[in-house]
Amino acid sequence: MERAENLMVIEALVLLDGPIDRARLERVLQHRVVDRYPVFRQRLVRPRLPGGLPRWADVATFDVADHVRQVVVPAPGDDIALQEYVGGFLSTPLPRDRPLWEVHLVDGLTSGSAMYVRLHHAMSDGIALTRVLLSLTDADPDAHPDAGPVEESVLVAPAATRPRSRPARLRSGIGLGLKLGLQSVGVAAKLVFARNPTTTMSARSGRTGRDKLIVWSDPIPLAHVKEIARATGTTINDVVVAALAGALQRSQSHQGERPVDVRTMIPVNLRPLDEPLPARLGNRFAVVLLTLPSGLATPLARLAETKRRMDAIKGSPEAVLTSALIHGIGLTGSWLSRPIVSFFTNKADAVTTNVPGPREHRYLAGTRIDGLLGWVPASSNQTLGTCIFTYAGTVRVGFKSDALAIPDPGRLLAGFVAELAALHPGGAAAGPGVAAEPAPPLIRV
């Protein structure tokens, strides 16, 4: 799936309230990640025979310190300086002669420091790697570096579900089978025949460029989003996805374009969140294709339609079908898999993740974490990656865009914040971090 224009690299950003102890961090990395998950000390080896699959092989000279670099950004050390630093690596492949990950400790910021992490998707999927990174953290700043990783249930609370009794399952089996069969036909038709509309954010000349831009928001109070959800009978997820639709609608209108719906792909986790990750990690995920109602005129209409479309996907077998499709593509040779991947991924201009992080503040090597963000890769000619991350009572949104198709991701950021303000019953005065649409932040290319 990797191309020079869209690398298969997962980007994570940890915002910290002070400097970090590098020696202590390296010790935690070794004990909780490298020793636990072999792929962090292995490199990818080409197949021995034509048509074979690559394999992982241990690196005899592995040293965790070789994967950690420490830098100081130039003054004034604001968000723009950090965005420029991160943006400088978004088109840089990870070296193939070593394990496919690296950590950047960024100092010189006016507010604390940051840890920027790059991990190749070949190692594992985004949710699993998020859990791996969160296993580095502690609830107590004085936790010992050699302490075991936190329990998985502390990181992401498992959904509370209760399986139906066996007689109930048997009684509904035939009807459910017919329903799933009809739904599967509809999903297959959607995946095969759906056409992606051409908009101002579509790839220029049918191709994305190599240069990427990245921006993120200040923390938005999660309580503000909950108030919108309660007032409208929706979920937090519905609200933030509708805010994304609103940001796209506002961006299209600003450019003098008649707003239309925009399609995005959403990765779906297939692992039980209350079970430990396997040592081999690997990829276990699906994707669903969501048409964002960015063609609708009002924020409440966009929210209502977002909920309707999200609920329809939740009740369909789309994730199961795309999981099988992804697995099947992975078993084909590159000469066949590349056009198949392009056919399906080019049905969307964007990829969107919404990750529920820890509810309380966590500490990394003794330093408090103030914010978390993470972007999964875009594929083929997709031009926009959106990350929505909740953490410690706040929400942050981040955009990674193709510089040719979307040269002003700051406008999307401003539109997202403005949409939340428009949805809130109290309007723009609803709380800190949420206000009327501001001027987009300066982005230097």
What does DSSP say about strands 285-292 and 262-269: parallel, antiparallel, or unpaired?
A: antiparallel
Q: What is the mean pLDDT of the chain?
A: 83
Give the CA distances from residue 226 to residues 240, 407, 426, in Å, rounded to whole numbers and listed in that order. Answer: 10, 32, 13
Instruction: Please state, in angstroms and rounded to a whole number, the distance separating the CA atoms of residues 259 and 243.
Output: 15
The position carrying tokens 């995005």 is 264
Instruction: Please state, in angstroms and rounded to a whole number, the distance separating the CA atoms of residues 280 and 156.
Output: 20
Angle between helical axes of 299-314 and 222-232 (0-180°, round to 10): 80
Instruction: Please state, in angstroms and rounded to a whole number, the distance separating the CA atoms of residues 26 and 18.
Output: 17
Q: Can you give the pLDDT at residue 21?
A: 95
Instruction: Please state, in angstroms and rounded to a whole number, the distance separating the CA atoms of residues 283 and 125.
Output: 5
Q: Can you give the pLDDT at residue 203?
A: 66
Nearest to 379 by CA among 196, 252, 241: 196
What does DSSP say about strands 394-402 and 220-221: parallel, antiparallel, or unpaired?
A: antiparallel
CATH code 3.30.559.10 region(s) in the chain = 9-155
Q: Could you count the other beta carbons within 10 Å of the beta carbon of residue 441?
A: 18
Q: Can you give the pLDDT at residue 420?
A: 96
pLDDT tens, position by position, 150-196? 544 444 443 333 333 344 443 445 444 444 454 555 555 555 556 66
Q: Could you count the other beta carbons within 10 Å of the beta carbon of residue 369?
A: 21
Give the CA distances from residue 386 to residues 151, 316, 355, 382, in Å, rounded to whole numbers and listed in that order. Answer: 28, 24, 11, 11
Q: At residue 256, does pLDDT exceed 50? A: yes
DSSP codes of every residue in 358-421: -SS--EETTEEEEEEEEEPPP-TT--EEEEEEEETTEEEEEEEEETTT-S-HHHHHHHHHHHHH
Instruction: Please state, in angstroms and rounded to a whole number, the distance separating the CA atoms of residues 49 and 433.
Output: 56
- Is 125 buried (19+), middle (13-18) or exposed (0-12) by CB count in 10 A? buried
The position carrying tokens 């779906």 is 268
Beta-carbon contacts of 70 under 8 Å, excluding residues fewer than 6 positions away, are 22, 104, 105, 107
Instruction: Please state, in angstroms and rounded to a whole number, the distance separating the CA atoms of residues 68 and 14.
Output: 14
Q: For domain 9-155, which architecture applies?
A: 2-Layer Sandwich (3.30)
Quote the tokens at residue 274: 């209350």
- Looking at residue 34, the DSSP 8-state letter turns out to be I
pLDDT tens, position by position, 279-320? 999 988 888 889 999 999 999 999 999 999 999 888 776 666
CA end-to-end span of the chain, whole Å? 26
3 state SS of 59:
coil
3-state helix, strand, coil in the chain (%, to 5): 35, 20, 40
Q: At residue 394, does pLDDT exceed 80? A: yes
The answer to whether the CB of 318 falls within 8 A of the CB of 289 is yes
Q: Could you count the other beta carbons within 10 Å of the beta carbon of residue 56?
A: 17
pLDDT tens, position by position, 194-251? 666 677 777 655 678 899 999 999 999 999 999 999 999 999 999 999 999 999 999 9
Q: At residue 436, does pLDDT exceed 70? A: no
Specify the CATH superfamily of domain 173-354+380-430: Nonribosomal peptide synthetase, condensation domain (3.30.559.30)
Quote the tokens at residue 387: 């990350």
Phi (first) and psi of residue 394, to 5 degrees? -135, 165
Quote the tokens at residue 22: 């590098």
Q: At residue 80, does pLDDT exceed 70? A: yes
Q: At residue 32, does pLDDT exceed 50? A: yes
Instruction: Please state, in angstroms and rounded to a whole number, the distance separating the CA atoms of residues 118 and 316.
Output: 33
Higher pLDDT, 336 or 315: 315
CATH code 3.30.559.30 region(s) in the chain = 173-354+380-430
Q: Could you count the other beta carbons within 10 Å of the beta carbon of residue 179?
A: 14
Biggest alpha carbon distance in the chain? 68
As a whole-number percent, the residues of the chain with pLDDT over 90 amount to 60
pLDDT tens, position by position, 96-137? 999 999 999 999 999 899 999 999 999 999 999 999 999 999
The pTM of this model reads: 0.85
Give the CA distances from residue 441 to residues 80, 87, 90, 214, in Å, rounded to whole numbers and listed in that order. Answer: 8, 15, 19, 11
Q: At residue 439, does pLDDT exceed 80? A: no
The answer to whether the CB of 398 falls within 8 A of the CB of 10 is no
Q: pLDDT-based confidence at 381, cuts 50/70/90?
A: confident
Instruction: Please state, in angstroms and rounded to a whole number, the distance separating the CA atoms of residues 399 and 387.
Output: 6
Q: At residue 372, does pLDDT exceed 70? A: yes
Phi (first) and psi of residue 94, to 5 degrees? -75, 140
Q: Can you give the pLDDT at residue 345?
A: 66
Nearest to 119 by CA among 254, 12, 231: 12
3 state SS of 58:
strand
Q: At residue 346, does pLDDT exceed 70? A: no
Instruction: Please state, in angstroms and rounded to a whole number, the distance separating the CA atoms of residues 45 and 219.
Output: 41
